[in-house]
C-alpha cells in the first residue's frame, strides 16, 4: 500500500509542472483600461488609456465596443501606428483596430477623455471584445474599472441671532458718540458765537459793530461839517 501511495505522489509531482505550463499557454490576451480605480468629484475630467496586453501570442487585430456608465464621453484619440478599419468616436464607440506586423508586447490603443456626472460610481467597460492573432482569436477579456464620484462639499453657512446684531450696532454707535474729539466741540462753540445775535454781545462789541455798519454815514457827516467850516471861514475872511 505504501508503495502505491508513493507512486501516486511521484506521478502527481511530475504532472504538476505540465498543468502549470498548460495554464500559462491557455491564458488569454486582454485589454487593460487605466487608471483602474479613481476617486473624483462630480463634473471632473478623467483621462483613461486603453491598451492591449498579449500573453505569449501575437496580437494583430482588436475589435470591441466602449461603454460609459455615469460618464460623458468628450473625445477618443487613437494612438499612432495603428490601422483603423473602424475608428471609435463618442457618438459611435465601436472599434476595429489593426496592428501592423502584430505585437508581442503591451501597446496603447487609444486615449479617452470623459467627464463625471452624478455622485456614486462610474466606469468604462469594454464589451463584445475579440483579440485576434495570426488568424485565430487569442482573447476576449478586459479588466474591471471602478471610479468613485463624490459630490463636492457645500460650505457651512454661519447664522447669527438678529438681536445680537442689533445690540452690536447700538454699542458701536454709542462708542462713536463718546469718542467725539474736544477740538470739534470747540469749533461748534465758536461757530455758535459767530451766529449769535448782537444783543447777546458785550457793549464794546455793539459799538464797534455799529461803527462798522454805519461808517459811510459817519464819513458823510464829517465831510459836510468840514465844508460848512470852510465856507464860514471864507465868508468871514471877505468881510474883513
CATH says 28-150 is which class? mainly beta
- Distances in Å between the alpha carbon of 174 and those of 165, 167, 180? 15, 11, 11
Which cell goes with 2? 505504501
> Nearest CA to 31 among 53, 47, 48?
53
What b/e readout covers 77-91, taking b as 16+ CB neighbours within 10 angstroms?
ebeeebeeeeebeee
Residue 235 has a pLDDT of 79
User: How do the pLDDT tens digits run along the chain, 240 residues long?
Assistant: 545 445 444 443 444 443 333 343 447 999 999 999 999 999 999 999 999 999 999 999 999 999 999 999 999 999 999 999 999 999 999 999 999 999 999 999 999 999 999 999 999 999 999 999 998 999 999 999 999 999 987 766 666 666 666 666 566 554 544 554 555 455 545 554 445 454 554 555 566 666 666 777 777 888 888 888 888 888 777 766
Which cell goes with 20? 502549470
pTM assigned to the model: 0.55
> Nearest CA to 67 among 122, 110, 124, 114?
124
Residues 118, 212: Cα–Cα separation, whole Å: 90
Distance, C-alpha 40 to centroid of its chain:
15
Residue 201 has a pLDDT of 45
Enclosing H/E stretch for 169: helix 162-178
**Partners of 149 in beta bridges:** 40, 120
- Distances in Å between the alpha carbon of 37 and those of 68, 122, 235? 15, 10, 132
Taking 3-state DSSP, the helix, strand and coil percentages for the chain, each rounded to the nearest 5, stand at 40, 35, 25
Query: What residue spans define the domains of the chain?
Result: 28-150, 161-195, 201-240
Using CB atoms within 10 Å of the CB of residue 204, give its burial: 0 to 12 exposed, 13 to 18 middle, 19+ buried.
exposed
Which cell goes with 42? 462630480
Q: Any idea which residue has 462798522 for its cell?
A: 212
> Nearest CA to 57 among 142, 141, 127, 137?
137
Backbone angles phi, psi at 201, to 5 degrees: -90, 170
Q: Any idea which residue has 501606428 for its cell?
A: 81
Amino acid at each position: 500500500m505504501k508503495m502505491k501511495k508513493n507512486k501516486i505522489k511521484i506521478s502527481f509531482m511530475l504532472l504538476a509542472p505540465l498543468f502549470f505550463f498548460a495554464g500559462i499557454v491557455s491564458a488569454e490576451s486582454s485589454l487593460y483600461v487605466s487608471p483602474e480605480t479613481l476617486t473624483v468629484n462630480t463634473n471632473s475630467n478623467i483621462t483613461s488609456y486603453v491598451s492591449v496586453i498579449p500573453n505569449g501570442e501575437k496580437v494583430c487585430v482588436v475589435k470591441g465596443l466602449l461603454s460609459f456608465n455615469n460618464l460623458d464621453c468628450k473625445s477618443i484619440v487613437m494612438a499612432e501606428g495603428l490601422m483603423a478599419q473602424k475608428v471609435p468616436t463618442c457618438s459611435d464607440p465601436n472599434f476595429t483596430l489593426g496592428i501592423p506586423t502584430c505585437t508581442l508586447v503591451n501597446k496603447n490603443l487609444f486615449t479617452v477623455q470623459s467627464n463625471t456626472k452624478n455622485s456614486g460610481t462610474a466606469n468604462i467597460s469594454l464589451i463584445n471584445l475579440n483579440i485576434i492573432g495570426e488568424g485565430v482569436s487569442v482573447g476576449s477579456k478586459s479588466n474591471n474599472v471602478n471610479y468613485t464620484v463624490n459630490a463636492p462639499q457645500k460650505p457651512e453657512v454661519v447664522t447669527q441671532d438678529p438681536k445680537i446684531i442689533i445690540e452690536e450696532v447700538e454699542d458701536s454707535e454709542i462708542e462713536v458718540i463718546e469718542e467725539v474729539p474736544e477740538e470739534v466741540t470747540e469749533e461748534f462753540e465758536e461757530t455758535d458765537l459767530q451766529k449769535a445775535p448782537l444783543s447777546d454781545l458785550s457793549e464794546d462789541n455793539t459799538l464797534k459793530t455799529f461803527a462798522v455798519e454805519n461808517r459811510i454815514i459817519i464819513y458823510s457827516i464829517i465831510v459836510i461839517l468840514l465844508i460848512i467850516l470852510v465856507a464860514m471861514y471864507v465868508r468871514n475872511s471877505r468881510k474883513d
